[in-house]
Amino acid sequence: MFTAMLSKSWWPDRIRAIAPSHITSSHRSDFGSQKGLASLRWRRFIDPSHSYTSMRTLSHFIIAVLITCSVANVRAQANETETPTKPNVLFIFLDDFGWRDAGFMGSDFYQTPNLDALAAKGMVFNNAYAGAANCAPSRACLLSGQYSPRHEIYNVGTTRRGKKQHGKLMHVPGTDTLRKDIKTWAHCVHEAGYRTGTIGKWHLSNDPLPYGFDFNFAGTHSGSPPRGYYPPHGNIAELKDAPKDEYLTNRLTDEAIGFIERNQQQPWFLYLTHFAVHTPIQGEPELVRKYQNLPPGKLHQHPVMAAMIESMDRGVGKITAALDRLDLADNTIIVFTSDNGGYGPATSMAPLKGYKGTYYEGGIREPMFVVWPGVTKPGTTCDWPVINVDLLPTFCSMTGAQLPNQAIDGVSLTPLLTGQASSDMQDRSIYWHFPAYLQSYARTDQQRDPLFRSRPCTVMRSGKWKLHEYFEDGDLELYDLEADAGEQNNLVSTQPDVAKRLHDEMQAWRRATNAPVPSTPNPNYDANSEAAAINKLGRNKTSKK
């Protein structure tokens, strides 16, 4: 896997020129073993004979890596006489917020001045990914630091999605509850002395408290506000007495400020996991009216989605104002991202193809930034592919917490954020495994076939390459994301060597993670019914557009 990345053209010229030339295939035997991988990474840095021809080459490499990611370490050498203060962490996590859905990501209609101002204070990741294309599996990856075959949450719910006559295979149901033997970053951070809180959507069990949180507000197994963004809020105990005109996003903002105020004298970690901007698409009336009276953008036009986003963004502004008022801003790390791509009928990720539920880029690539005062240089960007399983080791690193004694698929982003080079992120491939079905939301031009957003598949990204494998027919799709971010030109037939190399890697990864590949025929499958349904939608499912 290392040679795969190191010799290829996506490397900027300056890096490619000095990239290690003799990483041997023997290193591949380390693949699949976390201990082996960690050991290999360490050897490559401390022992030039292993990976680099000289220390001079190593230092050039590090310099080039620094330039690539526009990173600079602005923190002076730590003053050893200073009492170290644990930084607070505010993790703002949105639901179904798409890759272009903020001003700093190029929206031409949604207004997010507070997010934009924060993004400018930190590092924006241009190739950040969710762990899955829909809610529960992505969140399970996020909390556990593990890919889906390890926690076995593959979909929202465990029942078949879409018409049972329209899929060739039995899906792998997996589970809908995060196993309690899996440690989350909340466990780790809590053990490191932090007060931990979750406010908003949880979705991984009935109660988040056994998963490392001291405080829960409104987190249940439900994946959306049961009756919408205004009361009544079903069985959410904390919201039983919500005033009838209280907009849920605003209430979660106020609860977040309350948590910060109550815990300001100790280190805290707040997981602010908004229901916004998940369906139902429902905004505050005066904000909806505002956007109805504005000219629509070319990319985005939906006034209610715009209103939902503005409510969230105003909340971000209130929280950052509270951090300033409490004199906590300089000691609070802010991490922002979302769980999967935007809801196709209401927003667009263009030029990316796909939306929530598809494994094209629009379904999994996310806006993401990190503000780490005094550590991460403001106004920086990083193009390296990162994925939400990286946040468990990152949060442990930020807070001084111990890593849990379990398989960890992510790597810490702290070296990128502090400006200390690490080649981990280029060297590795990242993966998604979805052995299930997701029915269409009727954006047939944005998905592989008209009936499903996704059929059973594994997908990987390695440098500039992205490989999809769909299990019903064994179809492969290979894209060069550097030249074709919209995944329009399948290169399987013109780049067979690349496709084979990546497919070999993908199979090795599935073996290493015990990923189940569906193979049992679906006894309810009816090819005629499927063809008729596709015909009715006027498209051919084999179209690879």
Provide, rounded to whole angstroms, the least separation between the CB of residue 115 and Ca ion.
Answer: 18
Residue with nearest beta carbon to Ca ion: 135
Please identify, among the stretches 203-211, 333-341, 383-391, 529-537, the one whose residues bind Ca ion according to the rule CB under 5 A: 333-341
Contacts with Ca ion in 72-101 (CB under 5 A)? 95-96
Smaller CB separation from Ca ion, 96 or 176 = 96
Which value, in Å, is the radius of gyration of the alpha carbons in the chain? 23
What does each C-alpha distance from 247 to 13, 308, 336, 339 come to in angstroms?
A: 51, 10, 22, 22
**Among 259, 275, 278, residue whose Cα is nearest residue 267:** 259
Provide, rounded to whole angstroms, the least separation between the CB of residue 97 and Ca ion.
Answer: 8
Provide, rounded to whole angstroms, the least separation between the CB of residue 179 and Ca ion.
Answer: 21
Contact by Cβ (8 Å): 7, 19: yes
- Non-local (6+) Cβ contacts of 340 within 8 A are 96, 130, 132, 133, 134, 135, 138, 356, 357, 363, 364, 366
Provide, rounded to whole angstroms, the least separation between the CB of residue 139 and Ca ion.
Answer: 8
Smaller CB separation from Ca ion, 223 or 315 = 223
Please identify, among the stretches 70-78, 132-140, 232-240, 410-418, the one whose residues bind Ca ion according to the rule CB under 5 A: 132-140
**Among 132, 198, 231, residue whose Cα is nearest residue 436:** 132
Smaller CB separation from Ca ion, 31 or 275 = 275
Smaller CB separation from Ca ion, 340 or 422 = 340
- Our CA angle for 151, 370, 95, nearest 5°, is 50
**Which 3 state secondary structure label does DSSP give 196?**
strand
- How many residues form the binding site for Ca ion (CB under 5 A)? 5
Provide, rounded to whole angstroms, the least separation between the CB of residue 144 and Ca ion.
Answer: 17
Please identify, among the stretches 140-148, 332-340, 453-461, 514-522, the one whose residues bind Ca ion according to the rule CB under 5 A: 332-340
Please identify, among the stretches 166-174, 196-204, 340-348, 372-380, the one whose residues bind Ca ion according to the rule CB under 5 A: 340-348
DSSP 136-180: HHHHHHHHHT--HHHH---SSSSS--S-GGG-SB------SS--T
How far, in Å, CA of 114 to CA of 310, rounded?
9
Provide, rounded to whole angstroms, the least separation between the CB of residue 445 and Ca ion.
Answer: 22
Largest CA distance in the chain: 75
Smaller CB separation from Ca ion, 174 or 363 = 363
- Non-local (6+) Cβ contacts of 366 within 8 A are 97, 99, 128, 129, 130, 337, 338, 339, 340, 341, 388
Tokens representing 27? 């290193």
How far, in Å, CA of 420 to CA of 351, rounded?
32
**Among 301, 292, 407, residue whose Cα is nearest residue 346:** 301
Please identify, among the stretches 166-174, 178-186, 337-345, 519-527, the one whose residues bind Ca ion according to the rule CB under 5 A: 337-345
Smaller CB separation from Ca ion, 135 or 248 = 135
Smaller CB separation from Ca ion, 135 or 172 = 135
Smaller CB separation from Ca ion, 102 or 401 = 102
Question: Is there binding between residue 530 and Ca ion (CB under 5 A)?
Answer: no
Contacts with Ca ion in 440-459 (CB under 5 A)? none
Smaller CB separation from Ca ion, 347 or 426 = 347
Question: Is there binding between residue 339 and Ca ion (CB under 5 A)?
Answer: yes
How far, in Å, CA of 382 to CA of 126, rounded?
6
Give the distance, in angstroms, between the CA of residue 222 and the centroid of all CA atoms in the same chain: 20
Provide, rounded to whole angstroms, the least separation between the CB of residue 348 and Ca ion.
Answer: 17
Provide, rounded to whole angstroms, the least separation between the CB of residue 201 and Ca ion.
Answer: 8
| Cβ density class 502-539: b for 16+ within 10 Å, e for less | bbebbeebbebbebbebeeebeebeeeebeebbeeeee
Please list the residues that pair with 271 across neighbouring strands. Answer: 91, 198
Question: Is there binding between residue 340 and Ca ion (CB under 5 A)?
Answer: yes
Contact by Cβ (8 Å): 452, 440: yes
Provide, rounded to whole angstroms, the least separation between the CB of residue 265 and Ca ion.
Answer: 34
Contacts with Ca ion in 247-276 (CB under 5 A)? none
Which DSSP state fits 78? P
Provide, rounded to whole angstroms, the least separation between the CB of residue 496 and Ca ion.
Answer: 36
Smaller CB separation from Ca ion, 27 or 365 = 365
Please identify, among the stretches 67-75, 130-138, 155-163, 535-543, the one whose residues bind Ca ion according to the rule CB under 5 A: 130-138
Which DSSP state fits 104? G
Provide, rounded to whole angstroms, the least separation between the CB of residue 430 and Ca ion.
Answer: 19
Smaller CB separation from Ca ion, 311 or 388 = 388
Can you tell me which of 19, 64, 133, 135 binds Ca ion, judged by CB under 5 A?
135
Provide, rounded to whole angstroms, the least separation between the CB of residue 394 and Ca ion.
Answer: 21
The half-sphere exposure of 378 on its side-chain side, counting CA atoms within 13 A, is 7
Provide, rounded to whole angstroms, the least separation between the CB of residue 199 and Ca ion.
Answer: 17
Question: Is there binding between residue 487 and Ca ion (CB under 5 A)?
Answer: no
Residue 172-211 contact track with Ca ion, rule CB under 5 A, x = bound: ----------------------------------------
Smaller CB separation from Ca ion, 96 or 152 = 96
For the chain, counts of helices (H) and of strands (E): 18, 17
Provide, rounded to whole angstroms, the least separation between the CB of residue 278 and Ca ion.
Answer: 6
What does each C-alpha distance from 125 to 55, 71, 390, 486, 540 come to in angstroms?
A: 29, 11, 13, 18, 36
Please identify, among the stretches 135-143, 235-243, 248-256, 496-504, the one whose residues bind Ca ion according to the rule CB under 5 A: 135-143
Smaller CB separation from Ca ion, 310 or 339 = 339
Instruction: Give the start-end residues of each E strand in 339-474.
Output: 365-366, 369-371, 380-382, 386-387, 430-434, 438-439, 452-454, 457-462, 465-470
Smaller CB separation from Ca ion, 101 or 424 = 101
Residue ranges in contact with Ca ion by CB under 5 A: 95-96, 135, 339-340
